[in-house]
């Protein structure tokens, strides 16, 4: 009779241990992953004093993702990678993010800062330069959903910390240049965690 009373106690202990291991990682654990994103970049174009919206769709952005779980719900994430774009917007990126996973849920929020080192093709047909800082700093807010087997999908919004302008010449030798101002970026991401 005495051993029968212990069985429910052991079932509760074992099920809570299993839940903690699968649902919420322990603090201090490290996860590595790969992230693929499709980006839509929005620019304002100064056209004779009138601002027009220009968009660029960049289908290839690849990142490595390193995450340190600082608690069951919070993790700190570092994400270096590269955005393959065109002559206007492409380059190396790296970011620092805080990820919050809702209790007993597959939904999470991400917020942080992403730095983009914009490259150009100044020696070829196009030439452009940046007026402001060498590296673009962008604030990030994202909503994500964890699928099974380490796969996640995210929807991210990036907003520049300050105004970043790019001079853009359509043809070689052209004197006048279009001025594009980075407005914001929306990305859809697919992540796999090892």
The pLDDT of 94-102, averaged and rounded, is: 95
The CA–CA distances, whole Å, from 87 to 27, 33, 127, 176 equal: 43, 29, 8, 17
Cβ atoms of 65 and 193 closer than 8 Å: yes
The number of folded domains in the chain is 1
Angle formed at CA 147 by CA 144 and CA 153, multiple of 5 degrees:
35
Check which CATH number belongs to the domain holding 79 and give it. Answer: 2.40.160
Asked if the model's pLDDT at residue 83 lies above 80, the reply is yes
Return the pLDDT at 21.
Answer: 36
Asked if the model's pLDDT at residue 149 lies above 90, the reply is no
Asked if the model's pLDDT at residue 9 lies above 50, the reply is no
- pLDDT, tens digit, for every residue of 103-116? 888 999 999 999 99
Is residue 140 situated within a structural domain? yes
Cβ atoms of 40 and 25 closer than 8 Å: no
Flag whether the pTM goes above 0.85.
Answer: no
Is residue 189 situated within a structural domain? yes
The pLDDT of 8-37, averaged and rounded, is: 62
Is residue 90 situated within a structural domain? yes
Is residue 5 situated within a structural domain? no
Is residue 71 situated within a structural domain? yes
Highest mean pLDDT among 15-24, 121-130, 134-143, 160-169: 134-143
Is residue 12 situated within a structural domain? no
Is residue 59 situated within a structural domain? yes
Is residue 78 situated within a structural domain? yes
Return the pLDDT at 122.
Answer: 44
Owning domain of residue 182: 25-193
- pLDDT, tens digit, for every residue of 162-179? 888 777 666 666 666 677
């Amino acid at each position: 009779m005495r051993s029968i009373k212990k069985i429910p106690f052991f079932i509760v202990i074992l099920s809570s241990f299993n839940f903690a291991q699968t649902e919420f990682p322990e603090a201090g654990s490290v996860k590595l992953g790969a992230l693929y994103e499709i980006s839509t970049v929005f620019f304002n174009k100064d056209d004779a004093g009138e601002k027009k919206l220009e968009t660029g769709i960049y289908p290839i952005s690849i990142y490595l993702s390193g995450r340190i779980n600082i608690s069951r719900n919070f993790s700190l994430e570092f994400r270096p990678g590269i955005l393959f774009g065109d002559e206007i917007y492409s380059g190396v990126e790296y970011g620092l993010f805080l990820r919050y996973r809702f209790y007993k849920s597959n939904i999470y929020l991400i917020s942080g800062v992403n730095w983009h080192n914009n490259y150009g093709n100044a020696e070829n047909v196009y030439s452009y330069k940046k007026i402001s800082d060498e590296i673009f700093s962008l604030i990030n807010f994202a909503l994500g959903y964890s699928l099974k087997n380490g796969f996640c999908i995210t929807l991210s919004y990036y907003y520049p910390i300050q105004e970043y302008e790019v001079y853009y010449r359509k043809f070689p030798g052209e004197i006048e240049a279009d001025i594009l101002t980075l407005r914001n970026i929306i990305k859809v991401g697919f992540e796999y965690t090892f």
